[in-house]
């Protein structure tokens, strides 16, 4: 673990298991034992923002050990997907298998929201059985609801936007609604399962 100060009131924790740290820190905040404004997981980091005493908190965190078995797990969110994406044949060829086997792997694997970003409601889902290369040249417009893969991640585009991920399907899931609490359907640490629609 490495700790770094970020600005006047934030700490960046570099760890191998950021989701376990995120869950444990969020539980501490919920219990009133950690005073921070926000906890933001990344691919290999956790950012604590709005820390009143970063030096004191850093000293406290250096002695922490996280027990992944103690982290509560909610049931997976099931997302219906029509596996009709233009890049599905490429993914099958890249994985040296069939389109049906790719769909089977995607529906048979429990994915985890590693972190969120890019656009409101966009979750980076970790747990794919293979790594998929991005497009050499991004598309200028990817339709909302597109289910796509890139590197070790899967994701669903919440709104139309440019993108360089390989599209394998589409979903009608409502990924972001500012009037809901939380506004994002997929939040860090949640398990996700794709179901063929």
CATH number, domain of 41, equals 3.30.1360.40
- What is the rounded end-to-end Cα distance, in angstroms, of the chain? 42
Indicate whether 78 pLDDT > 90. Answer: yes
Residues 55 and 145 in one domain: no
Q: Is the pLDDT of residue 27 over 90?
A: no
β-bridge pairing 38-41 and 45-49: antiparallel
Instruction: Summarize pLDDT for 111-158 with one digit per residue, the tens.
Output: 999 999 889 999 999 999 999 999 999 999 999 999 999 999 999 999
On whether both 96 and 146 belong to a single domain, the answer is yes
Of the three residues 44, 70, 96, the one that is the final residue of a domain is 70
Last residue of a domain, one of 53, 70, 87: 70
- The helices-and-strands tally (H runs, E runs) of the chain is 4, 13
Which CATH number does the domain housing residue 90 bear? 2.40.100.10
What per-residue confidence (pLDDT) applies to 68? Answer: 66
The whole-number pLDDT of residue 69 equals 66
Q: Are residues 87 and 55 in the same domain?
A: no
Res. 110 pLDDT band, cuts 50 70 90:
very high
Tell me: do 111 and 189 sit in the same domain. yes
**pLDDT, position 71:** 66
Task: State whether 85 and 179 are in the same domain.
Answer: yes
Residues 64 and 81 in one domain: no
Do 65 and 85 lie in one domain? The reply is: no
Of 161, 192, 158, nearest to 176 (Cα)? 158
List the one residue out of 192, 190, 191, 189 whose CA is nearest residue 20.
189
pLDDT confidence of residue 74: 82
* φ/ψ of residue 39, rounded to 5: -125, 120
Q: Do 33 and 81 belong together in one domain?
A: no
Q: Are residues 90 and 176 in the same domain?
A: yes
Give me the number of domains the chain comprises. 2
Residue-number span of the structural domain to which 95 is assigned: 77-196
Average model confidence (pLDDT) for the chain?
A: 93
Q: Please give the Cα distance from 145 to 106 (Å, whole number).
A: 16
């Amino acid at each position: 673990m490495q700790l770094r100060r970020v600005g006047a009131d934030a700490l960046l924790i570099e760890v191998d298991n950021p989701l376990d740290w995120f869950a444990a820190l969020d539980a501490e905040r919920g219990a009133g034992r950690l005073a921070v404004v926000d906890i933001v997981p990344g691919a290999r980091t956790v950012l604590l923002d709005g820390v009143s005493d970063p030096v004191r908190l850093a000293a406290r965190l250096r002695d922490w050990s996280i027990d992944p078995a103690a982290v509560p797990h909610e049931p997976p969110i099931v997302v219906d997907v029509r596996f009709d994406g233009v890049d599905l044949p490429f993914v099958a060829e890249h994985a040296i298998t069939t389109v049906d086997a790719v769909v089977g792997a995607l529906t048979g694997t429990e994915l985890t929201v590693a972190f969120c970003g890019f656009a409101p409601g966009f979750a980076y889902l970790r747990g794919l059985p293979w790594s998929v290369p991005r497009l050499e040249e991004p598309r200028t417009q990817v339709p909302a609801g597109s289910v796509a893969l890139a590197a070790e991640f899967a994701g669903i585009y919440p709104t139309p936007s440019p993108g360089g991920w390989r599209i394998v399907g589409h979903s009608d899931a409502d990924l972001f609604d500012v009037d809901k609490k939380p506004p994002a359907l997929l939040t860090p640490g949640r398990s996700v399962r794709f179901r063929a629609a």
